[in-house]
Structure 1
């Protein structure tokens, strides 16, 4: 056996337990979602019949389509809004020197330690006074606000890696600050923006407390609240629907990762080199 194959075999031997550990919950979800309802709680690994129609029944019975669109909408607002606001802010933090700059950096870091649940009562009163309870758009804006500190911190560290010589060369060609940001910085830090957008989207996609507080009608539910409603307060829980909904809810994030994985690797490497 060649040296390369020995290294490959050793690597897979070491990684196999980790792969099994990661995939095991997804295997349980998939098999439970495909079981007949009568066999869901049976201590058997493989069902007597694979029922693909469970997913179609779940989609109708749980109003899954509306919850999926609400989550995509709120997470899209949070991701796009946070990135648009954070790019000029991160550029200013990276390139300008001003009084209190260190304080602002520390504030951005400390604000990440605050859980949304600490602010949820005041946030609800504010949204109620503005008439924005039950608004998916408002939930998306709140997600954006909670993610801006994170996105500014991430992008500012990536902007620091762009050599100042490139910026000065653009100035010598007559470019202003805005044009330099658009023509020099953005093409160079596209992988970093993609990485930041991925994490922002995931944060918004998985958020539970704010959505539970501000959304009361089923038509407004996001996916975490919709899945939670299938379990909370139920005398009998249809676990095949719960597992089917949970499994399908992971697909958008998995697709996003698969689509942007090349940017993810490049972006992480970019932030490691200065």
Structure 2
């Protein structure tokens, strides 16, 4: 690295350092609180670093709160919602990118308008729909993980179609036409030629859908009633809300563990995300 590039890098880091501190500060406080004994959390004046690093807070949190069950539910719901969203949105986005049909522009605007609605505005209607939807043994979709998956997919499909169609339009149609001239059918061309080129866009869409489902609170708090079906967002909230004594060391330990899967997913899919964003997956 020459002197000019090194100087530019140092200037960029100096300019961005306040933003980095602001972003990292809450996570640092969260982690340091998670490894403190309860006796050090309420001391005055406050101490940033713990005198005793109490790592067993994580094991205590796991055994006392049912974190493992909530973690499994969050993974199951988020992954299922992501898969279902992609199954529906990929063909719809392909149709937007490659086909011409009446009302196409109006429908694209409708997809964009739906992003202005917050899920919390629709939770009452979702609860009523889940309550009247029949399910096994004469039950309904209230307190059912399937109901949450369907709701998350319904909220995510519009955004996924909008984002994927923008990327699909940037893929040259000539590649598909070349495959057709060589005797490949339409379906085979989509799976062998088109979709491999669209992997970055689908990865970015899956990442956004998974994170939104992982962090969502209002819908799952409305539909899920039992502890065995609750997700991490509900678990962490219940550890604070309505408690006479809040064990902040356990709350922060649960929050740290809830952040880890998303951080790992971001690190793993970083190259797809950068490629997808730079290639027009988000416009």
TM bin (shorter chain): over 0.9
> Are positions 1:72 and 2:81 aligned together?
no
Q: d(CA) in 2 for partners of 1:97 and 1:250?
A: 43
Q: Deviations over 1:110-130 (max 9, x none)?
A: 111111122111111111122
Kept after mapping to 2: 8 A contact 1:161/1:273: no
CA contact (8 A) 2:35 2:54 kept: yes
2:51 matched to which residue of 1? 48
SS at match of 2:225: coil
- Residue 100 of structure 2: aligned partner: 97
CA drift at 1:4: 3.1
Aligned partner of 1:124 among 115, 122, 127 = 127
Q: 1:27 — aligned with what? A: 28
- Distance, in Å, in 1 between the alignment partners of 2:107 and 2:226 is 39
Contact 2:166–2:282 (CA<8 Å) still a contact in 1? no
CA distance in 1, matches of 2:6, 2:123: 55
d(CA) in 2 for partners of 1:104, 1:137: 28
1-structure distance, mates of 2:101, 2:282: 25
User: Aligned equivalents of 2:219 and 2:8: distance in 1?
Assistant: 48
1:219-256 deviation line (CA, Å, top 9, x unaligned): 11101000000111111111111111111101111000
Which secondary structure does the structure 1 equivalent of 2:49 belong to? coil
Structure 1 position 110 matched with structure 2 position 113: yes
Query: What SS does the corresponding residue of 2:142 show, helix, strand or coil?
Result: coil
Matched positions, count: 274
Which residue does 1:223 correspond to in 2?
232
C-alpha displacement of 1:7: 2.1
CA RMSD of aligned residues (A): 1.5
Could you say what secondary structure the match of 1:170 adopts? helix
TM-score (norm 2): 0.93
Unaligned runs of 5+ in 2: 134-139
Aligned position for 2:136 = none
Is it true that 1:182 corresponds to 2:191 in the alignment? yes
Three-state SS of the structure 1 residue aligned to 2:210 is helix
- Aligned twin of 1:240: 249
Partner residue in 2 for 1:150:
159
- SS of the residue aligned with 2:141? coil
How many angstroms does 1:26 deviate by? 0.6
Structure-2 separation of matches of 1:116 and 1:4: 46
User: C-alpha separation between the residues in 2 aligned to 1:116 and 1:214?
Assistant: 13
Normalising by structure 1, what TM-score? 0.96
Contact 1:31 1:46 in 2 (8 A): yes
State the Cα deviation string for residues 185-236 of structure 1 (Å, max 9, x = none).
1111101110110000011001100100011111111010000001111111
Cα shift at 1:273: 10
Partners of 1:95 and 1:171 in 2: CA distance: 15
CA distance in 2, matches of 1:187, 1:230: 44
Moved more, 13-22 or 204-213: 13-22
Q: CA–CA distance in 1 between the matches of 2:227 and 2:264?
A: 26
Give me the whole-angstrom Cα distance separating, in 2, the residues matched to 1:272 and 1:205: 22
Large movers: runs of 4+ above 6 Å: none
1:167 and 2:182 correspond: no
Is contact 2:82-2:210 (8 Å) kept?
Answer: yes
